Amino acid sequence: MESSSSAAAAIVSTNANINTDRTRRKKKKKSVLQQHQSKQNKNSQSHAKWKTEAQQQVYSSKLIQALSQVNLNPSTSSAPRQGRAVREVADRALAFAAKGKTRWSRAILTSRIKLKFRKQQHKRQRLASSSSSSPGSTTGSGSRSSRKHKVSVLRLKAKGLPAVQRKVRVLGRLVPGCRKQPLPVILEEATDYIAALEMQVKTMTAIAELLSRSTSEASSTSEPMTS
């Protein structure tokens, strides 16, 4: 009798432990799903904000303010340099509108500082090499050939990758700050970056139309009246 009661107690205890484990697993699964849903909602809200009129007004004001500081005089700078300057200003204004909350916006904001630092470093290296090298030395050609060899090796390694990994690598290079990121991060950043670029194109098109319309109106009013 005692053995049967102890066996029953053991069975009840085992069932209780199983039920407790099931409850814990269900709660854990539910919390994971809730976290995933909340993350998806935040991402969808972040992507949808670029389609709002308020966000377009914020970006257009930042862009106009930044463009007013760019030198667009044809006599002092060439057309390709002007186009490059406008593109850089438009991208920085877009990153400022994103408030640095995404990886791509932070990469754009820090790229100018990194470029300036690289230019200074390259200038110091060039001065040091010119002062230490004698006439007719081949240090510059040697460094260029080593760089070309490194690039060719990287290209050969990329060719050996599967097609999906190659496409992921290309997508990571297209999105700022995502060169060495995993696929989920690249997809999330690319979705937000594409939505931001669509808003950028829409805003810049509207500004260009407004400027061309004001220019045509100004030219028509400045023409002399004919009787």
pLDDT digit of tens for each residue in the chain (227 aa)?
Answer: 556 666 666 666 676 667 676 777 777 766 655 554 555 555 556 667 788 888 888 898 889 888 888 876 766 667 788 888 889 999 999 999 998 899 999 999 998 776 666 667 767 777 777 766 555 544 555 555 555 555 555 555 556 678 888 899 999 999 999 998 999 999 999 999 999 999 999 999 998 898 888 888 777 776 655 54
- Give Rg (Cα) of the chain: 30
pTM over the 0.85 mark: no
CA distance 177 to 106: 8
CA geometry: angle 138, 144, 145, nearest 5 deg? 85
CA distance 60 to 209: 13
What's the pLDDT at 128?
76
CA distance 176 to 155: 20
Task: Judge whether 181 and 103 are in contact, CB under 8 Å.
Answer: yes
CA distance 167 to 6: 63
DSSP 87-109: HHHHHHHHHHHTTT-SHHHHHHH
CA distance 97 to 193: 12
Candidates 170, 178, 173, 197; CA nearest to 98 is: 197
CA distance to 97, 99, 117, 125, 179, per residue, from 90 (Å): 11, 14, 22, 32, 22
Identify the H or E element spanning 83: helix 79-97
